[in-house]
């Protein structure tokens, strides 16, 4: 079980003039076990901060995070970043091996796991290549394989496809969904792309500009696999963009 509850989570950062800058204010959010939740918001609204708090990288200023039935310190978290964040001096296979080693997977089991996950992202032939010799899309795949290989309870993703061209991004979204359907883990996916959110998510939570709060949550009741050409996807995306525009406009 890996249901995440965020309760009145707030975070502010100290600034030069001594006045704390509120980034997140009273965020309440529940991501159900095995749900694919998207968090949509304008750039710089504090989405990444939220993810870093859930990952335990930074503490919240107020509020609480709870992983149902689990101690926050023992939750196995997979994190996929905006950049692939690979160890460039290690081969593709060694990058996965590193994560498994840190997670305490025994040495003799690691090669098989590495092989399996590289195959899943279609990179088994590149296991001995160094990351810098790969294309951006392939590097992203290594990052995805690394995150899945540790068999996380929760997968946090921070705009992982925003630096890629749309064609590559579409392939990777497809692959991500395939992996997710196989492994069925709880995902919180951050994006500023409404189309991406609607295509991927079971639910889309919409965030306002700083200080950020979740002001609307939309279920996406569409069957999978989904198709970008589905007019329903387009309609939902339009609605969400309108909602966001109305909200952000209201603030300005």
Partner 1 sequence: MPVPAPSRARSSRFENLRLYALSVGVLIGLWAAIAPFFPEFILPGPLAVAWASWELFASGEFFLHMSRTLLRVVAGFLGALVVGILVGVGMGINRQVETFWKMEILIGLTIPGLMWAVISVLWFGLTDFAAIFAIVIITSPMITLNIWEGTKALDTKLVQMARTLRASRGTIVREIVVPQLIPYLLSGTRLGLSLAWKVVVISEMVGLDTGIGHQISHWFGLFSMTKVMAWTFSFTLIMLLLEFGVIYPIERRITRWRPEAKEAFATAQA
**150 exposure class (CB count in 10 Å sphere: 0-12, 13-18, 19+):** buried
Helix (H, G, I), strand (E, B) or coil at 245: helix
- Which residue's CB is nearer to partner 1, number 60 or number 131? 131
- Residue 57 binds partner 1 (CB under 8 A): yes
User: Nearest-CA neighbor of 147 among 189, 109, 108?
Assistant: 189
| Size of interface with partner 1, in residues (CB under 8 A) | 26
d(CA 58, CA 24): 13
The site string for partner 1 over 109-128 (x = CB under 8 A, - otherwise) reads -----------------x--
State the minimum distance, in angstroms, from the CB of residue 97 to partner 1.
11
- Residue 132 binds partner 1 (CB under 8 A): yes
Question: How far from 198 is each of 201, 225, 238, CA to CA, in Å?
Answer: 6, 12, 10
d(CA 137, CA 140): 5
Binder of partner 1 out of 43, 88, 217, 238 (CB under 8 A): 88
Q: Pick the stretch among 20-28, 32-40, 74-82, 233-241 that binds partner 1 (CB under 8 A).
A: 74-82
Contact residues toward partner 1 (CB under 8 A) are 55-57, 77-79, 81, 83, 85, 87-90, 98-99, 102-103, 126, 129-134, 150, 156
């Amino acid at each position: 079980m890996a249901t995440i509850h965020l309760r009145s989570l707030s975070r502010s950062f100290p600034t030069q003039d001594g006045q704390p800058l509120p980034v997140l204010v009273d965020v309440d959010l529940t991501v159900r076990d095995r749900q694919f939740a998207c968090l949509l918001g304008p750039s710089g609204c504090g989405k990444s901060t939220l993810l870093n708090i859930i990952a335990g990288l930074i503490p919240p200023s107020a509020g609480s995070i709870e992983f149902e039935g689990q101690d926050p310190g023992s939750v196995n978290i997979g994190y996929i970043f905006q950049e692939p964040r690979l160890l460039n001096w290690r081969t593709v296979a060694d990058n996965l091996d590193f994560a498994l080693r840190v997670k305490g997977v025994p040495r003799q089991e690691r090669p098989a796991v590495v092989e399996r996950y590289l195959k899943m992202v279609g990179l088994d032939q590149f296991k001995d290549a160094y990351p810098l010799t790969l294309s951006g899309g392939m590097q992203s795949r290594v990052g995805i394989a690394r995150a899945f290989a540790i068999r996380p309870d929760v997968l946090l993703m921070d705009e992982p496809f925003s630096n890629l061209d749309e064609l590559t991004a579409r392939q990777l979204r497809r692959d991500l969904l395939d992996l997710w359907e196989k492994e069925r883990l709880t995902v919180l996916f951050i994006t500023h792309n409404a189309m991406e959110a609607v295509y991927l998510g079971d639910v889309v939570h919409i965030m306002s500009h700083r200080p950020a709060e979740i002001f609307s949550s939309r279920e996406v009741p569409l069957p999978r696999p989904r198709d970008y050409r589905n007019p329903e996807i387009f309609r939902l995306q339009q609605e969400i963009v309108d909602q966001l525009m109305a909200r952000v406009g209201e603030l300005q």
